Amino acid sequence: MTEYLTNYMKYVQQRLEKCSSAAELDEIMAEHKDKIAFMQHERIVHFLVTMLFALVLTVFMAVILFKPNIPVIILVTMMLVLLAFYIKHYYFLENTVQKMYKVYDGILEKQKKLKESSE
């Protein structure tokens, strides 16, 4: 997903730099809106999974407090590592979706300029 989003952001920036017609800009806007919707869904799913892992991790940490044993400690360690990677990925998704909003604003601005110049 990281590579996909990174490539898409480069692609849309390149298309915007080369774009000069209102029709092409409308096409870019429609595609970008779809991508934003997909990434918002992806972001929500990853948020829910991250919170679920955090909740389960909290439960297992509480188990360690009341009855420490090696298998649970190993499980908690593995879950901590996994949770760290989930948080890192969620952070990337969140920041990239916010960048997508800025690109969306840039497309709107470019549409306004094209309309003003054609009048």
**27-67 confidence digits (pLDDT tens):** 889 999 999 999 999 999 999 999 999 999 999 999 999 88
- The band of 119, judged by pLDDT with boundaries at 50, 70 and 90, is low
**105-115 confidence digits (pLDDT tens):** 999 888 888 87
């992806």: which residue's tokens? 42
Total domains, the chain: 1
Would you say residue 58 lies in a domain? Answer: yes
Would you say residue 7 lies in a domain? Answer: no
Q: pTM for the full model?
A: 0.79
Please say whether the beta carbons of 1 and 43 come within 8 A.
no
Give the distance, in angstroms, between the CA of residue 4 and the centroid of all CA atoms in the same chain: 11
Q: What is the pLDDT of residue 116?
A: 80
Range of the domain at 75: 47-110
Would you say residue 73 lies in a domain? Answer: yes
Would you say residue 20 lies in a domain? Answer: no
